[in-house]
């Protein structure tokens, strides 16, 4: 990419698909740090900070299936985020790496927790950046992630905004409407005050998302429970449906690498009052027929993450929480100096 001439882009062949990998040039012998991006984005969101790590660190950013330059292979959502985790581990193996440090943002935070569950001895450290709750996105209540409805109503592929999906499908890179990729980036990915550096690059990254039932957003089924939609079995949003995803098992892994949890203070996506949670939108009157907060309360996403990490610490692990003032869902983009300082302390580099 012309904006990042110090980044090399390679396609890595794994048993299931070809994976797009972005690395800082001349870092092949450094300590491998794997960066895993979030939903409706790609590894490009990590490029501005990767080169600022010390020369003895090898930052490796991987596009998940159906995003960026990686093949748009179907996503079996009934395995939760394990399909994505398998792809990243397969890429790590194909690169001939040993133990790795993992950095996951948003949905990627859930992916790296799944990777920790799968191969704890191969993980040196974990960094979670505004991660999805260990109990998924939507459809749960309480700090233990209890289902609001048995079928996971209020989560999955049917919760996506149809206008936003259409804008992605139409490669809309200019509209500033509230449901356009650009408008969504400005209104929800970042907090007010961001300098908009590389904004066009990030919008193009969002537009690299593969659209359809097998990818984003995924399929859905009807439900007798409000809001009338429940998860299907295919595609990205369904991987984070609570009927398929429960990452609280990290409490029991051995060994337990240190975890850094860094999050933007003003995040509107992963929040205890998320504007992407249909229960919160119902509470605000934006989704009709809301049965009330006593029956369908908003998901306490941040509280759920803290509860699981507290249990992780109480069972012999350790974690550090860093809240970035004035940042939204992308502190690595909005406040890179604070993000890098916290990451370097965590990695001891």
Query: Which residues have CB under 8 Å from 305's CB, separation 6+?
Result: 128, 131, 133, 134, 261
Mean pLDDT of the chain: 97
Mean pLDDT score, 265-273: 98
Distance from C-alpha of 166 to C-alpha of 144, rounded to nearest angstrom = 35
The DSSP letter of residue 131 is: P
Distance from C-alpha of 249 to C-alpha of 259, rounded to nearest angstrom = 15
Give the model's confidence band at 292: pLDDT under 50 very low, under 70 low, under 90 confident, else very high: very high
Tens-place pLDDT, residues 321-347: 999 999 999 999 999 999 999 999 999
Model pLDDT, residue 131 = 99
Residue-range domains of the chain with CATH? 7-347 (3.40.50.1820)
Mean pLDDT score, 40-45: 98
Contact (Cβ atoms closer than 8 angstroms) between residue 172 and residue 181: yes
Tens-place pLDDT, residues 179-236: 999 999 999 999 999 999 999 999 999 999 999 999 999 999 999 999 999 999 999 9
What's the CA angle centered on 129, arms 339 and 328, to 5 degrees? 75
Residue 109 vs residues 5, 85, 106, 190, 317: alpha-carbon distances, Å: 27, 11, 5, 18, 17
* 82-94 vs 107-118: helix crossing angle, rounded to 10: 70
Model pLDDT, residue 28 = 86
Please give the structure tokens belonging to residue 212: 């359809």
Report the predicted TM-score, pTM, of the whole model to 2 decimal places. Answer: 0.98
Model pLDDT, residue 2 = 81
Distance from C-alpha of 188 to C-alpha of 96, rounded to nearest angstrom = 37
Mean pLDDT score, 295-318: 98
């Amino acid at each position: 990419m012309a904006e990042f001439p110090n980044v090399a882009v390679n396609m890595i062949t794994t048993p299931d698909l070809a994976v797009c990998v972005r690395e800082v040039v001349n870092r092949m012998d450094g300590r491998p740090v794997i960066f895993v991006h979030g939903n409706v984005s790609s590894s490009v969101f990590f490029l501005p900070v990767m080169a600022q790590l010390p020369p003895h660190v090898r930052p490796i950013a991987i596009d998940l299936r159906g995003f960026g330059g990686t093949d748009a292979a179907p996503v079996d959502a009934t395995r939760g985020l394990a399909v994505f985790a398998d792809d990243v581990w397969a890429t790590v193996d194909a690169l001939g790496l040993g133990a790795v440090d993992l950095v996951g943002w948003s949905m990627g935070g859930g992916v790296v927790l799944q990777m920790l569950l799968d191969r704890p001895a191969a993980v040196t450290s974990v960094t979670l950046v505004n991660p999805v709750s260990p109990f998924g996105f939507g459809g749960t209540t309480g700090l233990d992630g209890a289902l609001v409805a048995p079928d996971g109503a209020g989560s999955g592929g049917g919760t996506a905004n149809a206008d936003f999906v259409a804008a992605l499908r139409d490669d809309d890179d200019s509209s500033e409407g509230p449901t356009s990729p650009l408008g969504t980036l400005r209104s929800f990915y970042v907090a007010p005050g961001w300098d908009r550096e590389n904004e066009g690059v990030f919008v193009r990254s969002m537009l690299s998302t593969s659209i359809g039932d097998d990818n984003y957003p995924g399929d859905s089924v009807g439900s007798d429970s409000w809001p009338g939609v429940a998860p299907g079995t295919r595609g990205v949003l369904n991987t984070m449906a609570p009927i398929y995803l429960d990452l609280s098992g990290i409490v029991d892994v051995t060994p337990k690498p240190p975890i850094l949890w860094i999050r933007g203070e003003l995040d509107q996506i992963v929040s205890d009052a998320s504007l992407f949670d249909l229960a919160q939108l119902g509470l605000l009157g934006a989704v009709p027929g809301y049965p009330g907060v006593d029956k369908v309360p908003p998901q306490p996403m941040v509280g759920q993450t803290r509860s699981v990490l507290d249990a992780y610490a109480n069972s012999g692990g350790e974690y550090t929480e860093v809240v970035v003032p004035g940042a939204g869902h992308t502190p690595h983009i909005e406040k890179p100096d604070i993000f890098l300082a916290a990451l370097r302390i965590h990695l001891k580099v």
